[in-house]
């Protein structure tokens, strides 16, 4: 936390800096002074200033038929190539309810696991290109 | 794939299952898929308030990747601020 950087609020170099953390389902934002180890909450000077959170989110839930807003044409937030895996999990959950179909549940759980692996790989690199290993060449 | 197609695919295996139950199971599946793949990303904005340290998070947020704060120099720049490891030693619950 120590070190200097440009404090954008005072336009001067400072060892104090704004930090964030999560606690009790909330994000905390305060200015940290490493010398006094004190945290100061946003004050009048910062009131109304925008904070942007970049985050991973859950897919929007499908509305149940009995509720307002239900639509048969609703589409999952996931890219279409992964919809099949979501369906596989739902099928597995259905098969789990009967002891005699546990083996079938296992098959669909495994299909879902394959989907998780593919999904993680997609999330990690697909939109930024494949991971490339660059080998150094000595001229 | 639309919800109708997803429900029909599940019904091919579970013809006795009602639509509400299938939708619930699809939602469980979606939650787990979101949680484990971290595939869906989004950004949201809020305003800082005088004397307020904590800002409630929406239930759809799984994990915060980064936080930007509006610069004070009047420009539209937003400055990335670092994540604190742990939480402040001195408590302030405002």
Tell me the pLDDT tens digit for each residue of B6-48: 999 999 999 999 999 999 999 999 999 999 999 999 999 999 9
Chain B residues touching A115 at Cβ < 8 A: 33
Chain B residues in contact with A123 (beta carbon < 8 A): 37-39
Quote the CA–CA distance of A35 and B62 in Å, as a whole number: 33
pLDDT tier at A17 (50, 70, 90 boundaries)? confident
Which residues in chain A are contacts of B67 at CB distance < 8 A?
20, 27, 29, 51-54
Query: Is B17 within the bounds of a domain?
Result: yes
Number of domains forming the structure of chain B: 1
Share of chain A above pLDDT 90, in %: 53
Question: Which whole number is the average pLDDT over A9-14?
Answer: 51
Average pLDDT in the A44-57 region?
A: 89
- Are B46 and A111 a contacting pair, CB within 8 Å? no
Of B1, B54, B78, the CB nearest to A28: B54
Indicate whether B85 belongs to any domain: no
Is B93 domain-assigned?
A: no
Please give, rounded to a whole number of angstroms, the shortest distance from the CA of B77 to a CA of chain A.
Answer: 10
Answer yes or no: is B71 within a domain. no
Is B31 a domain residue? yes
Question: CA–CA distance from A93 to each of A39, A75, A86, A89, A120 (Å)?
Answer: 48, 21, 11, 6, 22
Higher-scoring residue by pLDDT: B93, A3: B93
Record: contact A54-B65, CB cut-off 8 A: yes
Structure-token pair, residue B7? 């429900």
Three-state DSSP state, A83: helix
- Closest Cα to residue A50, out of B46, B56, B83? B46
User: CB distance B33–A89 less than 8 Å?
Assistant: yes
**Is the residue at B79 inside a domain?**
no
Task: Collect all residues with Cβ–Cβ distance below 8 Å to A30 and sequence separation of at least 6.
Answer: A18, A19, A39, A40, A41, A42, B53, B88, B92
Tell me which residue range forms the domain holding B14.
3-37
CB contact, 8 Å: A19 with chain B? yes
Per the domain annotation, does B18 fall within a domain? yes
> Which one of A65, A71, A104 has the shortest CB-CB distance to B20?
A65
Six-digit token string for B19: 């639509």
Residues of A in contact with B37 (CB under 8 A): 116, 119-120, 122-123
In a domain, B73, yes or no: no
CA-derived radius of gyration, chain B: 21
């Amino acid at each position: 936390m120590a070190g200097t950087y440009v404090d954008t609020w005072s336009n001067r170099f400072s060892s104090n800096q704004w930090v964030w953390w999560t606690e009790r389902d909330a994000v905390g934002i305060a200015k940290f002074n490493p010398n006094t180890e004190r945290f100061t909450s946003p004050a009048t000077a910062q009131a109304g200033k925008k904070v942007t959170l970049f985050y991973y989110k859950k897919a929007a839930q499908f509305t149940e038929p009995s509720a307002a807003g239900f639509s048969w044409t609703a589409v999952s937030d996931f890219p279409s190539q992964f919809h099949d895996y979501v369906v596989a999990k739902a099928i597995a959950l259905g098969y789990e309810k009967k002891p005699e179909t546990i083996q079938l549940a296992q098959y669909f759980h495994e299909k879902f696991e394959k989907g998780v692996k593919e999904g993680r790989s997609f999330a990690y690199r697909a939109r930024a290109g494949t991971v490339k290993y660059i080998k150094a060449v000595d001229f | 794939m639309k919800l109708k197609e997803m429900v029909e695919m599940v019904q091919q295996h579970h013809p006795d299952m009602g639509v509400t139950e299938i939708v619930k199971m699809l939602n469980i599946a979606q939650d787990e898929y979101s949680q484990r793949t971290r595939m869906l990303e989004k950004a949201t904005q809020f305003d800082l308030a005088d004397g307020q340290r904590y800002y409630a998070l929406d239930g759809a947020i799984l994990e915060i990747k980064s936080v930007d704060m509006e610069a004070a120099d009047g420009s539209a720049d937003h400055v990335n601020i670092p994540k604190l490891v742990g939480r402040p030693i001195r408590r302030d619950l405002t």
